[in-house]
C-alpha cells in the first residue's frame, strides 16, 4: 500500500445530512463525520431551518446521531439557516452572537430540492444583507435563477451570476459570500479574478470530475443529476483550471452530498449526488487527474479556515491518510442510497490515521 497523501482537518463546507425523521441522517452522517473536523449542514431539511431556535435544535439532532456513532465531540458543526424575505434579523443576529447560527443559505425559489420558500428577487433581501454585512454573518448562495424565470437550466447559473450575485456583491462589499457548488466558466473566472475579495466558492467532486456527457451518454444516469446540473466539458475544464491556479485560497471543499433513496430517484429523478461515502477519494482522484495534489490540503481545509477566521479545536483535529490500494468495488447502494462511483472500481482508499 502506497501513501498518496495525508490531509489534516478536512471541512465539508456544504453537505446535506437530512433528518432523523426522514431516516437519512443516521445513514449518511457517519460517512462524512468520520473523516471531517467540521461540516456545514444545509438547512433545506423538512421542515426547514428558519430560525436560531431551529438551528439550535438541528444541531442537537445531529449531535444525537454523532453520539450514537461515538463521533460526538470529534467534529464541529456550522449551522446555517434558510434565508427568506421573512427572516427575522433580530433573531438571526441574536442566534449568531449566541453561536447557534454560523451563516445563512439562500435558495432561488423553486429551483431545487425543498426550495419553494426561497428567494425570487434579491431587492427585497437587501435589508437582511445589510444586517448580515454589519455583523459579519456569511451568506451562501445557490446561484441559479428562481423557477418562475423562463431560462434554460444549462444557462441558469450564468444568468443568476449577472442578475443576483453581482448586485449583491456590488451593494454589499463587506458581506462574506460563498457561491455554492459552482458549475460554469463564468463562475470559476469571477471567483478567481479577485474582483470581489470577499467572494469564495465551494466545488463538488462531481463538477471537478465530470461533464454532462457522463450523465447523459449511453443512457441517463440519474445518480449524477444534481442542481446546478453538470455542464459542458469546457466548464469543467475552466473550474479545474481555476482550482489548479488558485493562489488566493478561494476554492473550498463542499461536497453537496445530497442523499435521496433509490426509490425516490427512480420515481422523480430528484436532484442530488450522494458522494459522502467516497468524497475523500473522489477529490483525491480529481486532484491527481489535475496533477496538483499539493493544492489539496488548502482546498480541503485551510481555505475555509482562512476565509471564515476559524481554528479547528484540538479535540476535532484529524489526519486522513489516502492510500493506493488493490482495486475495490464501490457498493451499488449504501442503505438504499446510490453513491457516487457506484459499482466502479477505485484504487484509492481513505482511512483515519
Ligand atoms: O442537487 C441538489 N440536491 N442540489 C441542491 O441544491 C439541493 C440538493 C438536495 O437537497 O437534494
Ligand atoms: Zn446543496
Q: Which ligand is nearest to the CA of 273?
A: 1
Say how many Å lie between the CA of residue 325 and the centre of ligand 1: 32
- 115 pLDDT band (50/70/90 cuts)? confident
Tell me what pLDDT residue 148 has.
86
Partners of residue 352 on adjacent β-strands: 320
Burial string for 160-182 (b: 16+ CB within 10 Å, else e) reads bbebbbeebbeebeebbbbbbbb
User: Is 256 labeled as catalytic in the residue annotation?
Assistant: yes
For the cut 80, the answer to whether the pLDDT of residue 268 exceeds it is no
Residue 44 beta carbon below 6 angstroms from any ligand 1 atom: yes
d(CA 29, CA 338): 15
Q: pTM of this prediction? A: 0.98
Active-site residue (options: 76, 100, 211, 256): 256
Distances (CA, A) of 198 to 17, 70, 191, 339: 27, 37, 9, 33
Q: What is the pLDDT of residue 332?
A: 97
d(CA 259, CA 176): 28
Read off the pLDDT of residues 182-203 as tens digits, 9 standing for 90 and up: 999 999 999 999 999 999 999 9
d(CA 32, CA 75): 10
Question: pLDDT at residue 318 above 80?
Answer: yes
Residue nearest to atom 4 of ligand 1 (CA): 227
pLDDT of residue 46: 95
Does 210 score more than 80 pLDDT?
yes
Q: Where are the domains of the chain?
A: 2-352
Using alpha carbons, select from 164, 277, 180, 179 the residue that is nearest to residue 223. 277
Specify the pairing of strand 177-179 against strand 199-203.
Answer: parallel
Report percent pLDDT > 70 for the chain. 100
CA–CA gap between residue 325 and residue 166 (Å, rounded)? 45
* CATH superfamily assigned to domain 2-352: Metal-dependent hydrolases (3.20.20.140)
For ligand 1, atom 7: residue with the closest CA: 113
Pairing of β 177-179 and β 319-329: unpaired
Q: How far lies 111's CA from each of 80, 144, 147, 156, 160, in Å?
A: 19, 7, 5, 10, 12
Three-class DSSP category at 242: helix
pLDDT digit string (tens) for 153-170? Answer: 999 999 999 999 999 999
Give the Cα separation of 173 and 197 in Å (integer): 8
Residue 267 has a pLDDT of 76
- What are the pLDDT digits (tens) for 240-252? 999 999 999 999 9
Q: Is the CB–ligand 1 distance for residue 257 below 6 Å?
A: no
- Name which residue leads in pLDDT, 259 or 114: 259
Residue identified by cell 425570487 is 120
Amino acid at each position: 500500500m502506497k501513501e498518496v497523501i495525508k490531509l489534516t482537518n478536512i471541512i465539508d463546507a456544504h453537505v446535506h445530512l437530512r433528518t432523523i425523521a426522514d431516516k437519512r441522517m443516521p445513514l449518511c452522517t457517519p460517512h462524512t463525520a468520520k473523516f471531517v473536523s467540521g461540516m456545514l449542514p444545509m438547512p433545506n431539511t423538512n421542515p426547514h431551518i428558519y430560525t436560531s431556535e431551529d438551528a439550535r435544535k438541528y444541531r442537537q439532532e445531529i449531535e444525537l446521531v454523532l453520539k450514537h456513532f461515538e463521533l460526538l465531540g470529534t467534529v464541529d458543526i456550522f449551522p446555517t439557516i434558510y434565508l427568506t424575505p421573512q427572516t427575522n434579523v433580530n433573531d438571526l443576529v441574536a442566534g449568531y452572537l449566541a453561536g447557534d447560527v454560523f451563516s445563512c443559505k439562500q435558495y432561488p425559489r423553486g429551483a431545487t430540492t425543498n426550495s419553494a420558500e426561497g428567494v425570487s428577487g434579491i431587492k427585497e433581501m437587501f435589508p437582511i444583507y445589510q444586517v448580515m454585512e454589519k455583523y459579519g454573518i456569511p451568506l451562501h448562495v445557490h446561484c441559479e435563477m428562481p423557477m418562475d424565470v423562463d431560462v434554460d437550466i444549462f444557462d441558469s447559473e450564468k444568468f443568476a451570476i449577472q442578475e443576483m450575485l453581482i448586485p449583491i456583491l456590488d451593494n454589499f462589499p463587506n458581506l462574506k459570500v460563498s457561491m455554492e457548488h459552482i458549475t460554469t466558466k463564468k463562475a470559476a473566472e469571477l471567483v478567481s479574478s479577485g474582483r470581489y475579495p470577499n467572494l469564495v466558492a465551494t466545488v463538488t467532486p462531481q463538477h471537478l470530475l465530470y461533464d454532462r456527457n457522463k450523465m447523459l451518454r449511453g443512457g441517463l444516469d440519474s445518480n449524477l443529476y444534481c442542481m446546478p446540473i453538470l455542464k459542458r466539458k469546457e466548464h469543467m475544464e475552466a473550474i479545474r483550471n481555476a482550482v489548479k491556479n488558485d493562489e488566493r485560497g478561494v476554492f473550498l471543499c463542499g461536497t453537496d452530498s445530497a442523499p435521496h433513496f433509490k426509490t425516490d430517484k427512480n420515481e422523480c429523478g430528484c436532484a442530488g449526488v450522494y458522494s459522502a461515502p467516497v468524497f475523500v477519494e473522489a477529490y483525491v482522484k480529481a486532484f491527481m487527474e489535475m496533477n496538483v495534489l499539493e493544492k489539496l490540503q488548502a482546498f480541503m481545509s485551510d481555505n475555509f479556515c482562512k476565509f471564515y477566521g476559524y481554528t479547528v479545536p484540538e479535540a476535532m483535529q484529524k489526519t486522513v491518510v489516502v492510500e493506493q490500494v488493490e482495486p475495490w468495488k464501490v457498493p451499488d447502494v449504501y442503505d438504499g442510497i446510490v453513491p457516487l462511483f457506484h459499482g466502479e472500481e477505485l484504487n484509492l482508499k481513505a482511512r483515519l490515521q
